[in-house]
Structures are given as structure tokens and as C-alpha cells.
Chain A
Amino acid sequence: AQSVTQLDSQVPVFEEAPVELRCNYSSSVSVYLFWYVQYPNQGLQLLLKYLSGSTLVKGINGFEAEFNKSQTSFHLRKPSVHISDTAEYFCAVSGTQGAQKLVFGQGTRLTINP
């Protein structure tokens, strides 16, 4: 079984500041890792994913994340945020075989202040 912990429920930052949203996971098997974004009143949109290979993955809207196997972490970063980045961000894991259901973290609400 897998589990995901997002350490911060809310993160307020000023526009153009850098941000890091933290995610830790646990699993007894190999996993794929994902970050999804949910804008107000919308569905879930994939930001980026780690399947294998390079531990630094780049996604849409200038976001990137680094997979750290020893620390079982997959933190999301952006060097300079915009008002439009205000949203809920979900970290998720799946197994690499079978149905590959997603197990989500609690979510982090990112609020950008002008």
C-alpha cells in the first residue's frame, strides 16, 4: 500500500517569490509520482510526473520537482510565482503495475499575494 503526506496545508507567498510545496510518500513497491493542480471549480490537471530516469522533472507553467528516493520525497518548486498560480496542489503516487490507482495527499493550498 502507498501513502502520501503533504506537509503544508496552506502556503502563502508573495508574487514573484519562489515556492516549495513538500511531499513525502511511503510505499513497499516501486512507484510513479505525480503533481496535480486544481484551480477553483475545476478538475485536476497534471503538472508533472516522475516515472524513471532523471530525478529532476520539469512540468507545465514553470514548475519542477525533484525525486529523492532516500528521503522518499517529491517536492514541487517554482522559482517565481504568479497570481495565476493560486490553486490547490496535490501530490500523488501510483504503483507501476496493474490498475495504477492514484493515492493522493491532502493537498496544499497555494495563495499568492500581490
Chain B
Amino acid sequence: EPEVTQTPSHQVTQMGQEVILRCVPISNHLYFYWYRQILGQKVEFLVSFYNNEISEKSEIFDDQFSVERPDGSNFTLKIRSTKLEDSAMYFCASRATGYNEQFFGPGTRLTVL
């Protein structure tokens, strides 16, 4: 069964450093999403991506964040200068055109020290 994969599973970084979180969506899906879940809080939408551009973003997704689809399979989230409050679990999701279900990856736990 096809699935969304994410790497790394856990990343530890120093405040101010850049991080790139990687996702491989399901191969025939065209809608991609990033969500985050701060420990003990609800899952929050960050950004959606379709047709090689951002289709919607939340207030959380400021200039420190960017997304990219560098090739035909990967979808990345970059945080340019991490803050302590960026510590969270980051989930990637993808969705096929004409369908409503988003398939989630296992997440990357980001710890900013």
C-alpha cells in the first residue's frame, strides 16, 4: 500500500540554524500539505501546495518558512532560522485530485535547543 514517508524521524538543531524536513508524498498525488503539532497541542495547518505553488498558508507560515518540490518525488519544508518555539512534530500529507482524504506521513520531531 502506498504511503507518505518523512525523513528524518527526529532532528535536533541549535536555535538560529536552518533545517530542511523532507517528505515523499504518494506518487500520483498532486496536493501536498505541512502541519505541525506542538507537544500537548492540536495539529495545526501550515501550508498547502499545488501545481508548484503555495495554494494556502496559515499565519504561522511566515518568512522563516518555505516549501519546495525540488524534483518529481520530494516535498520539503525549510525553516531558515529556527526558534525554540519551532520545536514540534511536523507532518506531511498528500491528497489525490478528486479525492478528499489526506494521507499523513509518520512525522518528523524537531527539537530546537
Contacts and interface: CB of A to CB of B under 8 A. Distances in A.
Interface of A: 32, 34, 36, 42-46, 49, 51, 90, 92, 94, 98-107
Majority-rule SS of B interface residues: strand
Interface string B80-105: 00000000000101010000111111
B12 interface: no
Among all A-B residue pairs, the 7 with the closest Cβ atoms: A99-B48, A44-B104, A99-B56, A43-B106, A104-B43, A99-B55, A101-B45
Interface residues of B, number: 25
B101 A46 contact: yes
A44 B91 contact: yes
Contacts of B65: none
Contact of B44 (A32, A46, A104): A104
Nearest to A44: B104
Interface of B: 4, 31, 33, 35, 41-45, 48, 50, 55-56, 58, 91, 93, 95, 100-107
Interface centre among A90, A99, A103 (most CB of B within 10 A): A99
Contact of B45 (A45, A103, A106): A103
B90 to A, nearest CB: 11
